[in-house]
Amino acid sequence: MFMAMCALHRSFIATAIAGTIVACSSSPVTTLPGGAFPIGDASAPKIQHVVIVVQENRSFDNFFATFPGADGTKVGKAAAIPASYDCPIPVPSATTIPLTEVDLLGNGFGSSFQDQQGQDLDHIHSGYVTDFDKSKMDGFDLQMLGASGGGTPACTYPYQYVNPADIKPYWDMAKQYVLADHAFQTQSSGSFTAHQDLIAGGTGISSTEALIDNPSYFPWGCDGNPQKEVTAIITRGGQVKEFGGPFPCLAYTTMRDLLDAKSVSWKYYAMKVYPYTDCPACEGAGIWSAFDAIKAVRYSSEWTKNVTKSPNDIFTDISKKQLPAVSWITPDGPNSDHPGSDSDKGPSWVASIVNAVGESSYWKTTAVVILWDDWGGLYDHVAPPAPHTWQASPGFRIPMLIVSPYVKPHVQHTVYEFGSILHFIEDNWNLGTLGRSDEHATSIGNSFDFSMSPRSFVKIDAKYSRDFLVHQPLSHEAPDTE
């Protein structure tokens, strides 16, 4: 699909992705503020807005085990469980067990698993190591309940998949657009590093150490308590030093640096971050606001200009025709799909974003990428591919949907990771590269067909309306513990 390169730079790749042919030139394309290209510019990409919607803690098999044509399964591998675990269903030797169909809240196992149903599962790095079991993918029954594995044995509870009727908006998007069935989180850990990977392509703080797992206290960033709060690190040799890292107010480069350098607009839609001194009862509400951990943003005017205090601001910006070129959206806890949240609003929340874009003038120039930040301890049968670098494990498979007028309905089997999204953005706006997972990951660009006429949008039906979701009280609670 790509034409021969006349200069070794990624701007030409971006031109090819956009489906245009331009003469070779040593002069970069000049963009207008906001990432808009001059009218009539032949090099303008067909995608001028990328919206990244980040949901919580689901493996691919958990949501799409039975999706036609996808690499899913209803049968999992399980290692022998020690008798001391006292599980409702004993597993005396390594075997295969069927995945139980549950609702979105995790209910469906029956009374024998009453204590487990709706609970969170271990999904920090140590939980990954247990689940992964040296590529055998059979240790999920050996993990513990609790985000950091501090609870009772999970036994066979991680072996579950959600009834498609409970997540119908996601299945409808998958049927109409692109479902990527080999997308992997970049690191083998939970939400903090996952959200950093989505803005920075990695969490390396030196040539031998990278951040892993979570900071020791809330909030996760510069607004934390510098006398108490530290991060965990993983070394080049794979050793994890729990809370042996720096205070989470970081100086590494992010997509913000690349976007700002080319005057391409961006925004991070998230809950308000409460500094540790302001609201002890709601200090966790902003843990998914990744730029709170980036010093150059937190202590500049961009903290109020580019980072929101409510994810609902996305709807206002669309209606006022102020959608930035690149945006990230993280939800309020009840809208997140997070296991144990006791809420079924996640699919409707995501559908409301897609519908807002699809029913606006932005539809013909936008790609919406929906993904879940980590596997949440839930079973998945596909082992991660070999790492490209010591920092990028990668972690387990997560679902990824690509919604755009320039995609045909299909299951995309390409191996993607979080850097694949950043790679596409970098190519699309000729930004250069951060040189982390964004550089080596395959761009999601191969999911698009820019030779096709833009498709008309069809509204995604959902249980809860946009009006209901926008007017529900924001929780201001810690929606996550990892």
For the stretch 290-349, pLDDT in tens is 999 999 999 999 999 999 999 999 999 999 999 999 999 999 999 999 998 889 999 999
Q: So what's the pLDDT on residue 35?
A: 54
- List % helix, strand, coil for the chain (3-state, nearest 5): 25, 15, 60
Q: So what's the pLDDT on residue 28?
A: 35
Rounded to 5 degrees, φ, ψ at 132 are -65, -45
Q: Residues 181, 60: contact at Cβ < 8 Å?
A: yes
Query: What are the Cα distances from residue 193, in Å, to 35, 213, 279, 288, 380?
Result: 28, 6, 24, 10, 20
Element (H, E) at 427: helix 418-428
Task: Map residue 88 onto helix, strand or coil.
Answer: coil
| Domains located in the chain, CATH noted | 49-61+164-195+250-471 (3.40.720)
Q: So what's the pLDDT on residue 42?
A: 61
Q: So what's the pLDDT on residue 477?
A: 67
Q: So what's the pLDDT on residue 344?
A: 97
Per-residue exposure over 292-301, b if at least 16 CB sit within 10 Å of its own CB, e if not: bbbbbbbeee
Please list the ranges in the chain whose pLDDT falls under 70. Answer: 1-43, 117, 477-482
Element (H, E) at 411: strand 410-412
| E-only strand ranges, 87-150 | 95-98, 100-102
On the CB side of 314, CA atoms within 13 Å amount to: 35
